[in-house]
Structure 1
Amino acid sequence: MAKEQLQVLNALDVAKTQWYHFTAIVIAGMGFFTDAYDLFCISLVTKLLGRIYYHENGADKPGTLPPNVSAAVNGVAFCGTLAGQLFFGWLGDKMGRKRVYGMTLMCMVICSIASALSFGKDPKAVITTLCFFRFWLGFGIGGDYPLSATIMSEYANKKTRGAFIAAVFAMQGFGILAGGMVAIIVSAAFKAKYPAPAYEIDAVASTVPEADYVWRIILMFGALPAALTYYWRMKMPETARYTALVAKNAKQAASDMSKVLQVELEAEPEKVDRFSQESGNDFGLFSKEFLRRHGLHLLGTTSTWFLLDIAFYSQNLFQKDIFSAIGWIPSAKTMNAIEEVYRIARAQTLIALCSTVPGYWFTVALIDKIGRFAIQFMGFFFMTVFMFALAIPYNHWTHKDNRIGFVIMYSLTFFFANFGPNATTFVVPAEIFPARLRSTCHGISAASGKAGAIVGAFGFLYAAQSQDRNKTDQGYPPGIGVKNSLIVLGVVNFLGMLFTFLVPESNGKSLEEMSQENEEDNGSATELTPHAGQDIRTVPI
């Protein structure tokens, strides 16, 4: 039997879309803008770092990062992100969303600057310092995932909640785009000092002194958007759902939301006291009751996010290697270091502009119309199709006349990642778990995703190497090749499609309905029931 809903929570559920919704999207979204910029900008400068710090005197080829160093530079931030998602997700349920929100942002600002100022007497020391600060940068980024999703879900109305949470996450697309644009602008500014004939003669010797400034400026820029939004994050009131349902302060919740919604709301402290005395919904994360009600849901959100991020992050971090393998980016020997950054950034920006960013906003537009399940299942399906379409006739795509076709097909995998599971895996964990465990469960789901990103960053670094003769000549271990890498990613996406059946549909329902917090305890978990004409997919538990 359903409990009577608190007035303040009901007011949030039925509120019309107002200015504060858009303010919350921008404030929370700028964190994701920064997250994406910081995580993906490193792939733009990885080859530059190899040229600067790992070029051997007398060698006739540009320097490259050794496999273990490249894996560390690309993947260490994900290790920090995983730790931050678990820690700050738990802390957000213990201390409140707002109090922890500022900590994550300051960590990101400080570590972005520190990463750019990495120092040392030799290349090993510089890279070690860079990896140290990027770990802690990732730690701060990790906290932004559960907190931003939880805050937005608890502020939103139930009619457009999916679009609002997805809009926060869609700022990630602009962060990826901004990373490429900043790299283009910075590299173009320095490239202008060295006309092409000056370095085409001796590409190896053309790693000019200013190249060291390029990667530092690109990394440091990530501190700017985070710093600009710190003040506004601190001005946001705590969410009413945390204040009322977790902190049990009905008066404060009503006061905060009266200002936000600009209506008078009754505090109802007696109703909060009555709810808190009922034992049916006070189970913990490691209890049998949580396992019975939400165990399969948590398995669904963690497994799909894990599988999605293996594919998504390996594609993003190593698309420069794939583009080099098919010849879309020229050989490093034909251009200087800054020119190479420019070419890589231009290619990745084109992909982001044409496929990544539109994919996010297709999700925003349609998620509350066709539902989370349909978008996630469809995204995994088309990612699987396009991966196999690239992998099976791979030799066909490597021919210079077919490169444009390869790039278009490859772009479509990014489009359906973002108009698909990359957005929905972020949205759903913020909707289906109880308020006192919402941030924690979202953090666990997100951390599972980052475990997949680590597999993608470390595992697929080696996978695509065997077909690059230059790398083989430089002592790289044999990999499984780009073709087989794409086949593996296709299989991973197919598994994600299957695990999507464990994830419940939350479209059109209040957070309390989804988490069953408004149900009286009768000794058994209530199975979610659909609205008329609405397909609610969930697993009986």
Structure 2
Amino acid sequence: MANDQLKVLNALDVAKTQWYHFTAIVIAGMGFFTDAYDLFCISLVTKLLGRIYYHEFNDKKPGTLPPNISAAVNGVAFCGTLAGQLFFGWLGDKMGRKRVYGMTLMLMVVASIASGLSFGQSPNGVIATLCFFRFWLGFGIGGDYPLSATIMSEYANKKTRGAFIAAVFAMQGFGILTGGVVAIIISAAFNARFPAPTYADNQLGSVVPQADYVWRIILMFGAIPAAMTYYWRMKMPETARYTALVAKNAKQAAADMSKVLQVDMEAEQEKVEEQGNSFGLFSREFLRRHGVHLLGTTSTWFLLDIAFYSQNLFQKDIFTAIGWIPNARTLNAIEEVYWIARAQTLIALCSTVPGYWFTVAFIDRIGRFAIQLMGFFFMTVFMFALAIPYNHWTHPDNRIGFVVMYSLTFFFANFGPNATTFVVPAEIFPARLRSTCHGISAAAGKAGAIVGAFGFLYMSQSKDPTKTDKGYPPGIGVKNTLLILGGVNLLGVLFTFLVPESKGKSLEEMSREDEDDEETAASRAIRTAPV
């Protein structure tokens, strides 16, 4: 039996684009701006950490961290993010989206500042406290994923819902870009004020004492946009879909949306009591209705993040391998930060940011499925195009071609599955499980990021033990690693066929919220049976 849709939900579905839509995008999007800044800024300073605290570790490559330290610094925030996505996703369905939303933001602010204040009596002590605080930073970031996506999907109208959710996620591109710009400004300012000889001239002199401030300031800057957003997050009303369909409070839902939409809303308490179904996440009914969908959202996000985070975190190593960043021995410590930040900023400006906004522009025109399929396909093509003739690209005359091809993989990641894997889980699951299922899907993605962060670190090492950095086991080389990532993207193409298209449909239609499950139907039949 299908129930008539509540008027308050129908009003949200058909509402014209209004000021509150843009307000919600900015409020939720600033969280994602901070998320991206905090997650990716670590890749800008790892070489500097190596120069400051482990300058005696490797005399061939200045700034190289010991393998266990490098893996921990790059991957610990992802472990926290995975845990946060599962925990806060579940909590968002239990306590409400708004009540949990502020917790995640304050955790991010505190952990960002604490990361920059990392302390210790030894290099390992400083890194240990840094990893501790970055785990909790990741934990807060993890909560932002399911909550921001769910809140935006439940506020949006069905005609432009995909663009609104994608716009929230697109702020990630500006976060990555800002991380590079901040690192460029800070490193340039410090290098001008405290110049140092290069590593080649003087190994210990390549690092001035003031360099220790550089990485700390870069990490702490991420607290500023998060702190600025807190007040506005707390002013947002709870979403009508949670209040009506989960909390079963029609009066509150109508009052909240009357203020948002600026129209009078009727409280339909009797219809609210009859709306929805009651099956749980681990029920046979959920498996029958949404099991394949959850498999599709988790698998595609997992596969996407293996490739996406491998590329983002270690693009400095790839650029160094092809000679696009000068040899570290010709640079002092702060200059190296500048060159790494410049390279990553150029990639973000030319491909990452435009890719996100292409998705915003086209997702409600050509649909989620088409964009995701196209993105995975072209990521596969360009990854293989880099890997198969890899020796051709490493020649000095062909470096610009390599950078262009490499940038295109980022463009089609963002005009593709990196955006759609975030959008779809917020649309296709029931309201009382929406945040939980998005959190599970996102956590699968971060599991892929962990595989990418740890796996790429070791796989990309030289196959020749005599050319491998001290402390690293022989790997399979950058070429073979790129081939593997191309294969991962190809699997993403196949698993995309498990994900349904949600373009132009209401959330209740996609989640089948208005269809009774067997238990609810039986209960309703008993209540309505003649005595």
TM tier, shorter chain? over 0.9
Residue 236 (structure 1) aligns with: 236
Conserved? CA contact 1:56–1:63, under 8 Å: no
Deviations 1:74-113 (A, max 9, x none): 0000000000000000000000000000000000000000
Residue 25 (structure 1) aligns with: 25
Distance 1:250 1:61, change over 3 A: closer
Residue 315 (structure 2) aligns with: 319
Following superposition, the deviation at residue 60 of structure 1 comes to: 7.3
Distance 1:195 1:120, change over 3 A: closer
Residue 527 (structure 2) aligns with: none
Residue 259 (structure 1) aligns with: 259
Match 2:327 to one of 310, 325, 331: 331
Distance 1:524 1:250 in 2: 20
Following superposition, the deviation at residue 463 of structure 1 comes to: 1.3
Residue 131 (structure 2) aligns with: 131
Following superposition, the deviation at residue 520 of structure 1 comes to: 4.1
Following superposition, the deviation at residue 198 of structure 1 comes to: 7.0
Residue 309 (structure 1) aligns with: 305
The answer on 1:506 being equivalent to 2:502 is yes
Distance 1:523 1:391 in 2: 54
Please report the TM-score for the alignment, with normalisation by the length of structure 1: 0.94
Residue 173 (structure 1) aligns with: 173
Conserved? CA contact 1:325–1:467, under 8 Å: no
Following superposition, the deviation at residue 461 of structure 1 comes to: 0.6
Deviations 1:262-299 (A, max 9, x none): 000101111112336xxxx2100000000000000000
Name the % identity.
86
Alignment of 1:357-372 (within 5 A): 357-372=353-368
Amino acid at match of 2:362: L
Distance 1:383 1:198 in 2: 38
Amino acid at match of 1:186: I
Residue 408 (structure 1) aligns with: 404
Conserved? CA contact 1:51–1:64, under 8 Å: yes
Following superposition, the deviation at residue 204 of structure 1 comes to: 4.7
Distance 1:475 1:79 in 2: 24
Amino acid at match of 1:119: F
Residue 529 (structure 1) aligns with: none
Amino acid at match of 1:426: F
Residue 374 (structure 1) aligns with: 370
Deviations 1:376-434 (A, max 9, x none): 00000000000000000000000000000000000000000000000000000000000
The answer on 1:73 being equivalent to 2:73 is yes
The answer on 1:488 being equivalent to 2:484 is yes
Please report the TM-score for the alignment, with normalisation by the length of structure 2: 0.95
Residue 245 (structure 2) aligns with: 245
* Higher mean C-alpha deviation, range 198-207 or range 136-145: 198-207
The answer on 1:37 being equivalent to 2:33 is no
Conserved? CA contact 1:77–1:136, under 8 Å: yes
Distance 1:168 1:58 in 2: 42
Following superposition, the deviation at residue 190 of structure 1 comes to: 0.7
Conserved? CA contact 2:6–2:271, under 8 Å: yes
The answer on 1:159 being equivalent to 2:159 is yes
Amino acid at match of 1:419: F
The answer on 1:344 being equivalent to 2:344 is no
Distance 2:327 2:198 in 1: 17
Alignment of 1:61-140 (within 5 A): 62-140=62-140
Residue 49 (structure 2) aligns with: 49
Residue 275 (structure 1) aligns with: 275
Distance 1:268 1:464 in 2: 60
Distance 1:470 1:186 in 2: 37
SS at match of 1:254: helix
Amino acid at match of 1:5: Q
Residue 356 (structure 1) aligns with: 352
Following superposition, the deviation at residue 62 of structure 1 comes to: 2.5
Structure 1 runs, 4 residues or longer, greater than 3 Å off: 57-61, 194-200, 467-471, 520-525
Distance 2:367 2:465 in 1: 47
Residue 183 (structure 1) aligns with: 183
Distance 2:466 2:134 in 1: 29
Conserved? CA contact 2:58–2:469, under 8 Å: no
The answer on 1:212 being equivalent to 2:232 is no
SS at match of 2:462: coil
Unaligned runs of 5+ in 2: 522-531
SS at match of 2:73: helix
Match 1:417 to one of 413, 420, 440: 413
Conserved? CA contact 1:204–1:336, under 8 Å: no
Conserved? CA contact 1:81–1:140, under 8 Å: yes
Distance 1:48 1:258, change over 3 A: same
Following superposition, the deviation at residue 519 of structure 1 comes to: 2.2
> How many residues are treated as equivalent by the alignment?
521
Following superposition, the deviation at residue 243 of structure 1 comes to: 0.1
Deviations 1:338-385 (A, max 9, x none): 000000000000000000000000000000000000000000000000
Amino acid at match of 2:209: P
Residue 146 (structure 1) aligns with: 146
Match 2:391 to one of 392, 395, 398: 395
Amino acid at match of 1:244: A
SS at match of 1:192: helix
Distance 2:462 2:190 in 1: 33
Distance 1:61 1:404, change over 3 A: closer
Residue 222 (structure 2) aligns with: 222
Distance 2:478 2:204 in 1: 26
Distance 2:467 2:168 in 1: 40
Distance 2:428 2:354 in 1: 27
Residue 526 (structure 2) aligns with: none
Deviations 1:5-39 (A, max 9, x none): 10000000000000000000000000000000000
Conserved? CA contact 2:368–2:501, under 8 Å: yes
Following superposition, the deviation at residue 59 of structure 1 comes to: 5.3
Following superposition, the deviation at residue 524 of structure 1 comes to: 12
Amino acid at match of 1:490: G
* Higher mean C-alpha deviation, range 192-201 or range 442-451: 192-201
Conserved? CA contact 2:85–2:139, under 8 Å: yes
* Higher mean C-alpha deviation, range 168-177 or range 199-208: 199-208
Distance 2:91 2:244 in 1: 17
Match 2:512 to one of 506, 516, 529: 516
SS at match of 1:248: coil
Distance 1:517 1:60, change over 3 A: closer
SS at match of 1:56: coil
